[in-house]
Amino acid sequence: MRRIVTGWRKEGKRVALVPTMGALHDGHLSLMRQARQNADHVVVSVFVNPTQFGPGEDFEQYPRTLEADLQYCRKESVSLVFAPDAAEMYGNTAHTAPQNVLTFRISKMAEHLCGPSRPGHFEGVLLVVNKLFNIVQPDVAIFGQKDIQQWFLIRQMAVELDLPVDVLMGPTIREADGLARSSRNVYLTADERKKAPMLFEALQRVRQYLERRCRSTAAEASGRAAKGTATMGVPVTSSIISEEIERLQESGFQVAYFSIVDTPDLQPADVVTPGRDYVIAIAVRLGKTRLIDNVLFSCKDS
Ligand code: AMP
């Protein structure tokens, strides 16, 4: 990997990395295309990373489709696929704390959303992404909005550790009915697959509600400003979220969280403030499948 990338660099070429766990789909392909627009060579890593799966999660069952993945990569003119096994990445020793010399401890950005329901997950993600950055030494790396907390954490890691890589975000690619593409969608039964678009529908309804509230509060505020008073932000009522959670629960979803958080700290927002960006994010279990999704929202007055 090093020898090849060093050769590219000597020729003055830019290198982009798209880290994946394989079972590639249109979401991954879109990241590869975005990578191609930002670099001369695209490297895709395919590695089902054991350190980011907790006990009882789906590490064993996770779909592994390397031959099909390689076909996709060939079609997308990927220069190199890096598909190590766990021994190659971590040595033959156990690869989780306390055996490691170094363990990430993540600050408040992992306190909400997926952090509490997947203890150790983001530590595992940051460990493997850090190793991949060191192995591939890319100029730019692309991650999907679908895993938005992961994106914010990786970008923050790059900033805090002065890693010489630009961390870009690719948009979430969806099925025609709105369900976000995911390697885990193959676990869904036919009945669950029919219900799954309800996630994105719920997110959109909450976003529309907040957009309306922002506009009408701005209109009220401009009236008040004319009279000499002003408001700072729009309170987020919890009833809109609880209505959506109830609707999902009635259809058989177990909701792990449904939250509005600010960016980039990912802290719960009780008030949304004009000019600031937020994430509305959800995680559920549907049968034995864990699904996540999110939409971005900025509080605008028009
Ligand atoms: P995974 O293979 O699921 O670990 O994902 C590898 C990369 O693809 C991550 O940066 C994900 O955020 C991204 N990704 C997964 N699903 C999608 C999607 N539907 N749209 C865009 N990016 C995605």
Q: Which atom of ligand 1 is nearest to the CA of 143?
A: 10
Pocket test for ligand 1, best of 69, 143, 149, 289 (most atoms within 8 A of CB): 143
pLDDT in tens, 96-125: 555 666 777 888 999 999 999 999 999 999
For ligand 1, say whether the CB of 143 is within 6 Å of any of its atoms.
yes
For ligand 1, say whether the CB of 291 is within 6 Å of any of its atoms.
no
Tokens of residue 158, six digits: 């790059």
pLDDT in tens, 188-237: 999 999 999 999 999 999 999 999 988 887 677 666 665 655 556 787 77
- What is the model's pLDDT at position 170? 98
Tokens of residue 258, six digits: 């449904």
Q: Are strands 253-262 and 277-286 parallel, antiparallel or unpaired?
A: antiparallel
For ligand 1, say whether the CB of 132 is within 6 Å of any of its atoms.
no
For ligand 1, say whether the CB of 183 is within 6 Å of any of its atoms.
yes
For ligand 1, say whether the CB of 28 is within 6 Å of any of its atoms.
yes
- What is the model's pLDDT at position 224? 66
Tokens of residue 273, six digits: 């403030």
Low-confidence stretches of the chain (pLDDT < 50) are none
Q: Exactly one of 25, 28, 95, 121 is catalytic; name it.
A: 28
> What residue's CA is closest to ligand 1, atom 13?
144
Dist. CA 225–CA 219, nearest whole Å: 10
> Per the omega criterion (within 30 degrees of 0), is the bond before 98 cis?
yes
**Is residue 202 within 8 Å of 280, Cβ to Cβ?**
no
Tokens of residue 183, six digits: 């390697």
For ligand 1, say whether the CB of 52 is within 6 Å of any of its atoms.
no
Dist. CA 38–CA 27, nearest whole Å: 17
Indicate if 28 belongs to the active site.
Answer: yes
- The alpha carbon of 167 and the centre of ligand 1 are apart by a number of angstroms equal to 14
- The alpha carbon of 205 and the centre of ligand 1 are apart by a number of angstroms equal to 24
Pocket test for ligand 1, best of 31, 48, 52, 81 (most atoms within 8 A of CB): 31
pTM equals: 0.94
Question: What is the number of other CB atoms lying within 10 angstroms of the CB of residue 271?
Answer: 14
Q: Which atom of ligand 1 is nearest to the CA of 174?
A: 19
Question: What is the number of other CB atoms lying within 10 angstroms of the CB of residue 164?
Answer: 9
- What is the model's pLDDT at position 91? 80
H/E run at residue 43: strand 41-46
Closest CA to 203 of 267, 144, 278: 278
Dist. CA 210–CA 300, nearest whole Å: 10
For ligand 1, say whether the CB of 185 is within 6 Å of any of its atoms.
no
**Is residue 151 within 8 Å of 126, Cβ to Cβ?**
no
Dist. CA 110–CA 115, nearest whole Å: 5
Dist. CA 110–CA 152, nearest whole Å: 10
